[in-house]
Amino acid sequence: MRYGFVIDQRRCIGCHACTVACKEENRVPLGAFRTWVKYVERGTFPQTRRYFSVLRCNHCDEAPCVTICPTVALYRRSDGIVDFDSSRCVGCKGCMQACPYDALYIDPDTHTAAKCNYCAHRVEVGLEPACVIVCPEQAIIAGDLDDPSSPIARIVDREPVQMRKAEQGTRPKVFYLGADASALSPELQSPSDQYLWAQRPREEVDLVRMVASVQQRGGPGAGALSRTVYDVPHQVRPWGWKVSAYLWTKSIAAGALLVAALVGTSAWGGLLGIGAPAISLLFLALTTALLILDLKRADRFAYVLLKPNWRSWLVRGAWILMAFGVVGAVWLIGGLADRADIVSAAFVPAVFLALATAGYSAFLFGQAEGRDFWQSPLVLPHLIVAALAAGSATLLLASFAVEARAPVHARYVFHPSDALGPLMVVALLANAVLLAIELGSHHPVRDVAKAAMLITRGGYRGHFWLGVVLAGTVAPIALVVADLALTLPALSQLAAILTLAGLWLWEDLWVKAGQSIPLS
């Protein structure tokens, strides 16, 4: 048994009865929608035609929201309905990023995720979903796709139906009959910052104008086939500055131990045994705090460990962070006890767990399948290179601070900057190459190309070229080279600060750009 929907767009009159019935049946709060109707228009007056699109959860057989959910709050039932249990939800918003159909939202009353659940409480007692019985044109057909005698199965088998974003491989179970292709594909629509019967939220208008400016410059989507004339509000960028900051603090936490284990020597003294693990544990604590604070239900954060979905990289990442913290603590204890053997024994596990700590987010963002920009295979090497750059920069600053406080006779014979400065330069050069490939290469997927253009030529271009490239890459490299030639340590200190600032700015742009392209 596999329940699904057919939306007959030839019959739909855009009356919103399905939306109202859904909200009433499921007590959907004001401003949120489980099913909604979007209007698009094609042509120019007087040769103009309007199309309606009834949009909702697609109850995918390979639902990415189920995979990424860390607490099994979302699950696929035996009858094919993708249902949710709000009592388990921690409000991580991962499901919102994983869904290619923009079908999930955060309930403003419960602060948990919610979506269409096929009116499962009605289906279980033999009733049809509320949207089906209320439709005056019988444009919504529900039923078992596996039952060849059912009306829905006969339509899907015999009629030329369409699906939204079938290329995502989610195997959606909402089929459209007689729909205009551009009405189902946001990449074929020209965005509008105002509607005739509705007012868009300010944050949505700003984002729409930013994306529209890219299309007007002849970028991807310049040849839009239709224009949006009505839609419901959608949450803009579910993941905000806390996620960007988490990537940054995690890169410092992982990089500090990784760099110390790879290039550190006993000549560094307390910086190797105490400074590096102390810095790592401090930023690991900040990373954990940011992850918890970003949850809409932070009071349930322990559910990630107590009610885990082991397929989710949110869960795997949490255990990797804990294991990394244990190794860092052992390293620090060895340094405080002046036990070089303990510190040395921690090197190998520290390298592997630091790489895992830096890199697991690539797989987490990979599970956010709704955001095509985050699906690049370069995300993993970028995170590791960023950790090397961040770790080098942080330890470089720490080494100067330690030396400034040490007695003259106890100062470094071999200064860490002799290794950390060049390593930071190499990491920055590698990062620049990855950025050039990521943003400058041909992108066959329109949404990826749009996001890249937003960074290089759109609304984010100033922050990218001046902040990431010039101040965060070119300037630090030049300052380190100048320090090596002139022996002016202050130049390397400034280079380290600029490197860390540039890395944070890039993470922020990358997270924002990935969420700037509309999903529905």
pLDDT in tens, the chain (520 residues): 999 999 999 999 999 999 999 999 999 999 899 999 999 999 888 888 999 999 999 999 999 999 999 999 999 999 999 999 999 999 999 999 999 999 999 999 999 999 999 999 999 999 999 999 999 999 999 999 999 999 999 999 999 999 999 999 999 999 999 998 889 998 888 878 888 777 888 888 888 888 877 776 655 555 678 889 999 988 889 999 999 999 999 999 999 999 999 998 887 888 999 999 999 999 999 999 999 999 999 999 999 999 999 999 999 999 999 999 999 999 999 999 999 999 999 999 999 999 999 999 999 999 999 999 999 999 999 999 999 999 999 999 998 877 655 554 444 555 777 889 999 999 999 999 999 999 999 888 889 999 999 999 999 999 999 999 999 999 999 999 998 888 888 999 999 999 999 999 999 999 999 999 989 8
Q: Are 402 and 275 in contact (CB under 8 A)?
A: yes
Please state, in angstroms and rounded to a whole number, the distance separating the CA atoms of residues 95 and 63.
10
Same domain as 308, residue 199:
no
Domain count, the chain: 2
Does 64 reside within a domain? yes
Same domain as 193, residue 108:
yes
CB atoms within 10 A of CB 282: 15
What is the number of residues in the chain? Answer: 520
Same domain as 167, residue 250:
no
Please state, in angstroms and rounded to a whole number, the distance separating the CA atoms of residues 290 and 267.
35
Same domain as 418, residue 362:
yes
pLDDT for res 54: 96
Containing structural domain, residue 350: 241-514
What are the residues facing 174 on neighbouring strands?
A: 5
Residue 34 in tokens? 């489980």
Same domain as 451, residue 405:
yes
pLDDT for res 258: 97
How are beta strands 140-144 and 189-190 bridged, if at all?
Answer: unpaired
pLDDT for res 231: 92
Q: Are 304 and 322 in contact (CB under 8 A)?
A: no
Task: Tell me the torsion sign for CA atoms 19, 23, 26, 30.
Answer: positive
Same domain as 158, residue 281:
no
pLDDT for res 392: 96
Does 92 reside within a domain? yes
| CA distances for 441 relative to 167, 261, 301, 444, angstroms | 22, 35, 40, 10
Same domain as 186, residue 259:
no
Please state, in angstroms and rounded to a whole number, the distance separating the CA atoms of residues 512 and 262.
33
Please state, in angstroms and rounded to a whole number, the distance separating the CA atoms of residues 451 and 513.
5
Which H or E run includes 47?
strand 47-56
Does 309 reside within a domain? yes
Same domain as 112, residue 258:
no
Q: Are 50 and 189 in contact (CB under 8 A)?
A: no
> What CATH number is associated with residue 134?
3.30.70.20
Please state, in angstroms and rounded to a whole number, the distance separating the CA atoms of residues 235 and 23.
18
Looking at this protein, which amino acid is placed at residue 260? A
CB atoms within 10 A of CB 20: 15
> What CATH number is associated with residue 460?
1.20.1630.10
- Terminal CA-CA length for the chain: 28
Same domain as 247, residue 209:
no
| CA distances for 409 relative to 130, 342, 403, 412, 489, angstroms | 81, 27, 11, 9, 19
Same domain as 7, residue 126:
yes
pLDDT for res 515: 95
pLDDT for res 402: 72
Backbone φ, ψ for residue 312 (5° rounding) = -80, 135
Choosing from 230, 264, 289, the residue where a domain stops is 230
Does 235 reside within a domain? no
**Which DSSP category does 129 fall into?**
P
Does 519 reside within a domain? no
Does 404 reside within a domain? yes
Nearest partner of 174 among 55, 52, 14, 37, judged by Cα: 55
Does 520 reside within a domain? no
Backbone φ, ψ for residue 83 (5° rounding) = -110, 175
Please state, in angstroms and rounded to a whole number, the distance separating the CA atoms of residues 57 and 384.
36
Residue 287 in tokens? 């990373």
Does 350 reside within a domain? yes
CB atoms within 10 A of CB 489: 16
Burial track 421-448 (b if 16+ CB lie within 10 A, e otherwise): bebbbebbebbbebbeebbeeebeebbb
pLDDT for res 217: 64
Same domain as 223, residue 247:
no
What are the residues facing 49 on neighbouring strands?
A: 42
CB atoms within 10 A of CB 109: 12
What are the residues facing 105 on neighbouring strands?
A: 114
Choosing from 187, 202, 230, the residue where a domain stops is 230
Same domain as 213, residue 346:
no
Task: Tell me the torsion sign for CA atoms 34, 61, 132, 126.
Answer: negative
Backbone φ, ψ for residue 211 (5° rounding) = -65, -40
Counting beta carbons within 10 angstroms of the beta carbon of residue 331, is it exposed (0 to 12), middle (13 to 18) or buried (19 or more)? buried
| CA distances for 498 relative to 356, 442, 474, angstroms | 26, 30, 10
Please state, in angstroms and rounded to a whole number, the distance separating the CA atoms of residues 359 and 410.
37
The number of angstroms, rounded, from the C-alpha of 157 to the middle of its chain's C-alpha atoms is: 36
Choosing from 170, 201, 230, the residue where a domain stops is 230
